[in-house]
Chains A and B, each alone.
Chain A
Amino acid sequence: MIASILPSISPGTLLAGGVTATAASLWLLLPGGRSGAADRTARWLGWLLGIVALAGFIATGHRLGSVGEEAVFLTVALVAVISGAATVVSRSPVYAAIWFAMALAGVSGVLLVLGGQFLGVATIVVYAGAILVMFLFVLMLAQPAGLAPYDRVSNEPLLAAVAGAVLLGILSLSIGRLTAEPPACCLMGGTKAALLADSAAAEPATAAASGIDMLADNHVARLGGELFGRHLLAVEVAGVLLLVALIGSIAIVSRGAADAESAAARRAMP
């Protein structure tokens, strides 16, 4: 039924509807300081609207080649999107961090399905494996007594929801190009088929000239060559920047230790 109705609506209307539903859903879901019963109703409504919006985006998106590929892609993509929403709307910081880890796992899965193996695994190593673990350490150590009141509400939920949804719309427009046929207003604008078709159509000269093939076997070697060939300066500058940050943090820590030592010495000789 949906499939027969959807093509008759213009893509622009469809996109506007999807974006509005997303915004409303996010606004209802965000912890906005409502009272108990109202909050529960709002959350139910929010999840319902969000599922409707998501289903609309999926129904109008590009299809991948095989059913298996499609199923795997949809699974990881849904994990990423739903966990992303849950990260923003969770009431507990620790749960937010866990949902964020799930979102990263989903994104990494999407990258793996699309052929970006290095980026997919690097997402896990860098974000989920290192940065988020540090977040969790801090969250767990900093709040043994429970949540502070300002962790329970979000500031400006309406503005945040609208801004997020507008960003989603703009990205869908720019990636999906809003062509009349088939409707491409979609979260899934970045599918393999679409990306390959787009890049081939948009910049055939550069793609052919630099010999970029996303699905080639030895793409880690190619990525390395690219990074340390064309972008060598950027890599070196980033390395120096990290080194400076490291030295700065050591300087701050050692100064703190010195202060503590001198304070202890003052206490010791009254």
Chain B
Amino acid sequence: MLPSLPTIVALVKIGLLVGGLMTAAAYLVLVERWMAAWVQDRKGPNRVGIPLTKIRLFGLGQPLADGLKIILKEDFTPKHVDKVLYVAAPLVLLAASLAIFAAIPFGSSLPPIPALGLTGEEPLLVAPGLDVGVLWVFALSSIAVYGVLLGGWASNNKYGFLGGLRSSAQLVAYEIPLGLGLLGVVLAAGSLKLDAIMNAQASSGVWYAFAQPLGFVVFLIASFAEAARLPFDLPEAEQELVGGYHTEYSGIKLLLFLVSEFLHMVTAAFLIVIMFLGGWHLWGVTGSGPVETWLVALIRFAVLSAKIFGVILFFMLVRWSWPRFRFDQLMNLAWKVMLPLGLANLVTVAAVEEFRPQLVTALGEGWAKAAAIAVPWAVFFLGWIAAGLLTPSGTDNTPIRTAGPLDAEHVLGSRPHDLVEA
């Protein structure tokens, strides 16, 4: 018995997406190393080419060599770990970060292909019927916390455990500004579907980064934190904090953790482009109507991919531009800066959307559109000034004197020297 046509189409899309993502992740690591070398004024990986020959190919063989090296490394499982959860944690994290892509479109859509029985436009999205795409993304990114928490706990190691708690607290805290950024876009587009959000931006011609600058900045910073990229990469802070939840991991399990963190960055880039930078839309190039020819489909796919690649390059450039946050600064930023700014953005967007009809009748179509962009920008600058004046994030590096050794006893509920002893 053959599976039905929609099933086959979905399987093909899943295959393309997973294969493409994994290959892209491998080569993005190479790009990241090139970027690091360029910023630090050195040459970077440029030797590995075709194996067993002297052909170098600018180092394009490097991902293969890296992958082989880490897979062939000894996969050491310490004796003191909780075996089941130790193995399950990286799998949970990878599964969650791949399943997110079920709701994320990777292009506009294909024109009808009557030869294969596809009579309608075929959306480039694994689950086109999912009416709650944004929530699906949000749900699965909250599942990723389990991988971090379980990895730290199952390692049965103080550094790993504290790293797990630290990272999961960070993920949970930044989910709130992330959600507030999402909500502003959902409110303006009137849909939870990511392809509908792109269509809304394409048909109006105003990307949400211009219409909601505050939401864009809040979402951008929160997605850096969710992807655990610098300046929020406390899981990786081995110089200061002995690494994080994957301290006890090695070999292919560590690879799974690192790949899923990388996929989080790719997901964040997809979301930033789709929700705030117009998705596949570019003025005068892609058009905004339905897809009728293969050329349009290809151009839209190329525009989306180029934008995503640009955002990923931005992620990589930021990595070498800012120092790491201290943990209390990170928390202060989430709760005392990002949360109020996110709320301010949400209220502004709600007010603009509510009074848009009145604006149109009072000012006319063009001026109403200008006002709907000007008001959020005014709020953006006001919010920026307020955040700068109040500086609750304590950006100086003075040590904090509020916590003494007796407070540790109060907070942890155990004697402090228990923590020091092995």
Contacts and interface: CB of A to CB of B under 8 A. Distances in A.
B130 A117 contact: yes
Interface of A: 66-68, 94, 98, 101, 117-118, 121-122, 124-125, 128-130, 133, 136-137, 140-141, 144, 217-220, 260, 264, 267
Contact of A220 (B145, B168, B192, B406): B192
A220 B132 contact: yes
B406 A129 contact: no
Interface string B136-154: 1011101101100110010
A58 to B, nearest CB: 21
A12 to B, nearest CB: 37
28 contacts: A68-B4, A68-B7, A94-B85, A98-B85, A98-B146, A98-B150, A117-B132, A121-B132, A121-B135, A121-B136, A125-B139, A128-B139, A128-B142, A128-B143, A129-B139, A129-B142, A129-B175, A130-B142, A136-B149, A136-B153, A137-B168, A140-B149, A140-B161, A141-B165, A217-B129, A217-B131, A219-B131, A220-B131
Contacts of B146: 98, 101, 128, 133, 136
B143 A124 contact: yes
B16 interface: no
Nearest to B3: A68
Nearest to B7: A68
Interface in B275-320: none
A167 B410 CA distance: 44
Give the size category of B's interface with A.
Answer: 20 to 34
Contacts of A128: 139, 142-143, 146
B172 interface: yes
Nearest to A105: B143
Given A68-B3, A118-B132, 19 more contacts: A68-B7, A94-B85, A117-B130, A118-B131, A121-B136, A121-B139, A125-B139, A128-B143, A128-B146, A129-B142, A129-B145, A133-B149, A133-B168, A133-B172, A136-B153, A144-B414, A217-B131, A218-B131, A264-B406
Q: Is the interface of B mostly helix, strand, loop or mixed?
A: helix
B389 interface: no
B1 interface: yes
Interface string B4-40: 1001000000000000000000000000000000000
B132 A124 contact: no
A101 B145 CA distance: 12
A67 to B, nearest CB: 7
Nearest to A139: B153
Nearest to B169: A137
Contacts of A125: 135, 138-139, 142
A147 to B, nearest CB: 13
B102 to A, nearest CB: 11
Contact of A137 (B1, B129, B165, B406): B165
Q: Is the interface of A mostly helix, strand, loop or mixed?
A: helix
Contact of A67 (B1, B138, B165): B1
Contacts of B414: 144
A128 B4 CA distance: 33
The 7 closest A-B pairs by CB, nearest first: A129-B142, A124-B139, A121-B135, A125-B139, A121-B132, A117-B132, A121-B139
Interface string B224-236: 0000000000000
A129 B161 CA distance: 19
Contacts of B410: 260
Interface string B390-415: 00000000000000001100100010
Contacts of B172: 130, 133
A124 B142 contact: yes
A161 to B, nearest CB: 26
B308 to A, nearest CB: 24
Interface string B150-184: 10010000000100010010001001000000000
Contacts of A117: 130-132
Contacts of A68: 3-4, 7
Of B1, B131, B406, B410, the most chain A CB neighbours within 10 A belong to: B131
Nearest to B161: A140
Interface in B27-66: none
Contacts of B135: 118, 121-122, 125
Nearest to B129: A217
B125 to A, nearest CB: 15
Contacts of A122: 135
Of A101, A121, A217, the most chain B CB neighbours within 10 A belong to: A121
B420 to A, nearest CB: 14
A133 B145 contact: yes
A79 to B, nearest CB: 14
B165 A140 contact: yes
Nearest to A120: B132
A187 B122 CA distance: 37
A252 B161 CA distance: 28
Given A68-B4, A220-B131, A140 B139 contact: no
Contacts of A118: 131-132, 135
Nearest to A256: B410
Contacts of B1: 67
Contacts of A130: 142, 172
Nearest to A217: B131
A57 to B, nearest CB: 26
A125 B136 CA distance: 8
A133 to B, nearest CB: 5
Contacts of A141: 165
